[in-house]
Structure 1
């Protein structure tokens, strides 16, 4: 079986490849933007086939799909940061909407029988009142950022290709996914990286934060990878599934966890630059539909997530220090 992954260097892509390599008979092809940081997939070189290009380039993705001829497609490539979408709304739309349509067109032409996963996001739900959680898949979509709007459009495009052309499309609305090998844009990554820098003497003992009041639903990327495979094997085409832990944690409590696991004392200071124009007070998903379809359940809790990410950044900061010596 041939599997094709877009966004291989992103937060989930390399973990999905790791998981798929444990399944006998799976041949992995991955689509990588030429300028993407290759470090998250260094351990995969020689074990997977990499196609380079940009998801916004219809010819590049068409050529890659035509060459790989995959049986399964996981579409993870995106401009995936809500905060960045405020500064670059057009870029976000092009990457997330146009890029998704480019992929769907290539699949329609070359592998119309392939099973396709489209990665959506909890940001499609937008602001949710406390009495509306946990959020189920039939909750109204009220995106409050250009990123959320782009993902609604990408999701609807996937569902339209299923309805119009019969493509086997399954969509996930993914809540926060966290693990090693990520950049430092996610809140947990930001806090852990700052702690590692402070411990290494490369930052003053102040942790800069944004809004600490929101509550978010976090799932480890290894749990996510397992869920995606199970969903594409057992999920119903044309359906949308929340991919989440089902638990919400206050961002301020995560800061407290990082400080408690830290090796030096720090103070916390709000940085106005880290505050968003709109910040949903709570995003907590209902994952019962996913669990019913696949039997999946998360295995890694928030404290283990924070501990792993903090250790990852300690290793990264330490490695950089040794390189500079």
Structure 2
């Protein structure tokens, strides 16, 4: 990524950091302010999901590299992978959650940072994972019991799972993980230093502020929609038109709209069906996190195979 994309992302991180502080101050000032889970779901469906809504175009690019003519195979594989993740979650929820959190940590760290890094190394991959781990550990550190309630809503009923988490929390291992994440951010920041890498620490403090003041669901929604997803969308806009960012945004919106709408419709149908079994908030949490897991795995695999075959 060149100077332009780094500057755009630095400005984005700075604005996001300011908004996090203003929003947190507002919450303290009006401590009865409540954001409904349905608002979180709608934000994720409209803004969060859209950053993966160009996967079909990436799929076409990958199939062209692999010289595969039948593009319908891509849609079939993508959908089957998403359905498989949901089935596995229903069958082995504790294992599925652990794998999802591990994969998500790497994905968040990599997608939020790689535009600043010019070289591939296994050390950088480890640093990406540790950096992204902050998104997972911060809610556990600041709101441990509330986070456990969310896990229970996600069909996690394994007592060993919860006793392990309580052991980790009691022995300050969550704090150790946050310290390691902090160290990884420092290494990424200082290695081949340039001022635009301050983006890393703006993001770091934004995530801590969000999770300190807000509930886990709201903190994750704001991070996922307005930092992670927008950052990924910025890179897609830049790929579409490297000269006119405004034109790139217009094209991106037009291309992203169909799959974003389709995903939203499927999610709302799922919410309607689940609401016949569970209460509304419980159903929303299932749609958000199990639904995101089902989309995240094929999305990450596509990114991996495209990146590998382009090289």
Return the TM-score normalized by structure 2. 0.25
TM-score (norm 1): 0.25
Whichever structure has more strand as a proportion of its residues is 1
Instruction: Identify, as 1 or 2, the structure richer in helix.
Output: 2
**With CA pairs under 8 Å and 6+ residues apart, which has the higher RCO, 1 or 2?**
2
